[in-house]
Chains A and B, each alone.
Chain A
């Protein structure tokens, strides 16, 4: 197992390097001129003076050749310097990222908890009362969650809960004097709508896996001994269904990052997702690249943690037969 962890962690820098190389290659091939665009935006006119543009280009190192730019970026990264952000002028990318990190961690964490808890509860209920209105309802909701675009659901939720009902805030973070700078009720809508995008098929997965496991001989054995259906489901089937669930969670919870870009934008959430959108709109490549690399780290770590979790949970891989 240590070997597997080592190999996977060692592959991470290689993967990040490949992504960075691809990014620089595309930047180099692209006719887009960040300096000219920046200056144009700054002065409000298209034909900015060539000297000003060149000055910015030189300051940003854009006058160097493609490979040179890449090498400069790479050496800086190894020192923990991800470059200077253009979206948040003059501030190091690292600083910008760290400032935004807590809000995103809070949002993703809350969504993760919602996905894990609700999918297990709803999946178990649907499997236990298979074919009943409960099952049908859970499956319908899962369908909506899986196939409805999250930004659409978020807007509908904003309309219903904030504009029409007025029960919850439509966006923002509320009173900044709280510890995280975010009031809890401002978290409810973003975290829930973000969670729904993954919740649907996590729930269906729990339901279907449980129903599969309910046909296992050992579950039938438990029932043959007089165990109730609920008891057999929770004590015998569920622990076995949890094994693939762990793998699923590790592989798919990192996908919440993608949804966070949309959700944070809708709710004006001060996190990395919102920042990614702003970086994308203003073509702030160093900033966007840094966020993408962060996303890759999270994805690889999620998968790795799931694999480790699976091995620890499954006695067949935890201990080898004597």
Chain B
């Protein structure tokens, strides 16, 4: 390969120095995303998925310690100067932030914010404005009315579409959508997925961060599963949802209402005191002695997939019985 991938993450470690000790948010996931690619990062809150998105943009707070490598189109983000980071965000990356209702400035009109986007991205004023109007129109919003409106005058779905339109104004190479279905009704999930896929079709790489497996299913592409800052599994989305390999992924899918709504026993890990081994070990139904001593290596599964569990073959029968017997609580922390 001669052109660098749009996104190349290697051994990304993020720790926060907090008042009471160090919080470990990411423990070295490796991820790669090529032009036109689609990667869904799935995880619960505290899995590190939002920290991942923030780290890609170089927008972590000052108390974060970052090691490893994040390259966007061959440009190193870790340790880059604020000038370099700004240029990178301005020219190549678009973030669709979580919570459309708060991502728009409440005291400015959409028109003002559209003009700001054009100015910030250094687009030609006329062309930029026309492009945003086109995008608004394509998503079923009247450009004139929308530009005149304040954010609170729009519905959640409309705000989401505005954000998407603004994000596409500069034809970014990488689009990061953070929880794009956060706070949206279930029937808007498919519509959101369609709009996101349009972005991908223009040749941009798309990184979607979500806890919503339905959105992942609607999007396709590849899915990476984060837990406690570790990458536990990465597979093409549809096989992953169909035949999850890692016990945690199985648990997530088993917790869906249509799969029996069996929640995973135990609670998410304490990020300031992660176990030395697999972060999921305290809740894992398949846990063995060696799981708690060292982090298992990623091993290949399927055509392109990876899973961080040496015992995933044995999972199938165990999972069913485990789901029916939630009192197997002995591995839960504390």
Residues of A whose CB lies within 8 Å of any CB of B are 131, 216-218, 220-229, 231, 235-236, 239-240, 243, 313-316, 319, 321-322
What is the interface residue range for chain B against chain A?
20 to 34
Q: Is the CB of A315 within 8 A of B152?
A: yes
Q: Which of B108-123 contact A (CB under 8 A)?
A: 108-109, 116-117, 120-121
Contact between A224 and B59, CB atoms less than 8 A apart: yes
A322 to B155, CA, bound (A): 12
Query: What CA separation (Å) do A225 and B94 show in the bound complex?
Result: 6
Is the CB of B45 closer than 8 A to any CB of chain A? no
B150 touches A239 (CB 8 A): no
| Inter-subunit contact A226/B102 (CB<8 Å) | no
B86 near A321 with CB under 8 A, answer: no
The 9 closest A-B pairs by CB, nearest first: A226-B90, A224-B95, A217-B102, A315-B150, A226-B89, A218-B105, A217-B103, A227-B120, A221-B103
A-B contacts at CB below 8 angstroms, number: 77
Q: Which of chain A's residues have a CB closer than 8 A to the CB of B102?
A: 216-218
Least CB distance from A242 to B in Å reads: 8
Interface residues of B in 241-290 (CB under 8 A from A): none
- A316-B117 Cα distance, complex, nearest whole Å: 22
User: In the assembled complex, how far is the CB of residue A17 from the closest CB belonging to chain B, in whole angstroms?
Assistant: 39
Most buried by B among A218, A220, A316, A322: A218
Minimal Cβ-Cβ distance residue in B for A322: B153
Q: Roughly how many angstroms separate A235 CA and B107 CA in the complex, as a whole number?
A: 11
Which residue on B lies nearest to A318, using beta carbons? Answer: B150
Question: Is there contact, CB below 8 Å, between A321 and B152?
Answer: yes
Known: A218-B106, A315-B106, A315-B107. A226 touches B150 (CB 8 A): no
0/1 string, B73-92, CB within 8 A of A gives 1: 00000000010001101110
Q: Is the CB of A314 within 8 A of B107?
A: yes
Point out the residues of chain B lying under 8 angstroms from A240, CB to CB: 105-107
| A224 CA to B55 CA, complexed, in Å | 11
Residues of A within 8 A of B121 (CB): 225-226
User: What is the predominant secondary structure among interface residues of chain A facing chain B?
Assistant: helix
**B99 and A217 contact, CB distance less than 8 A:** yes
**Contact indicator A222/B150 (Cβ below 8 Å):** no
Instruction: Tell whether, in the assembled complex, residue A224 and residue B152 are in contact, meaning their CB atoms are under 8 Å apart.
Output: no
Contact among A221, A229, A243, A316 for B150, CB-based, below 8 A: A316
Known contacts: A216-B102, A313-B107, A316-B106. The answer to whether A224 contacts B97 by CB under 8 A is: yes
Can you identify 15 A-B contacts, CB atoms within 8 angstroms? A131-B62, A217-B102, A218-B104, A218-B105, A221-B163, A223-B59, A224-B89, A225-B89, A226-B91, A228-B86, A235-B116, A239-B105, A239-B107, A313-B107, A314-B106
Whether B57 is near chain A, meaning CB under 8 Å from some CB there, is yes
Least Cβ–Cβ distance between B11 and chain A, in angstroms: 24
Give the residue name and chain of the A residue nearest to B54 (CB).
A220
| Bound-complex Cα distance A321 to B59 (A) | 34
A222 to B108, CA, bound (A): 13
> How long is the Cα–Cα vector from A229 to B104 in the complex, in angstroms?
17
| Closest-CB distance, A317 to chain B (whole angstroms) | 10
**Contact yes or no, B116 A222, CB < 8 A:** yes
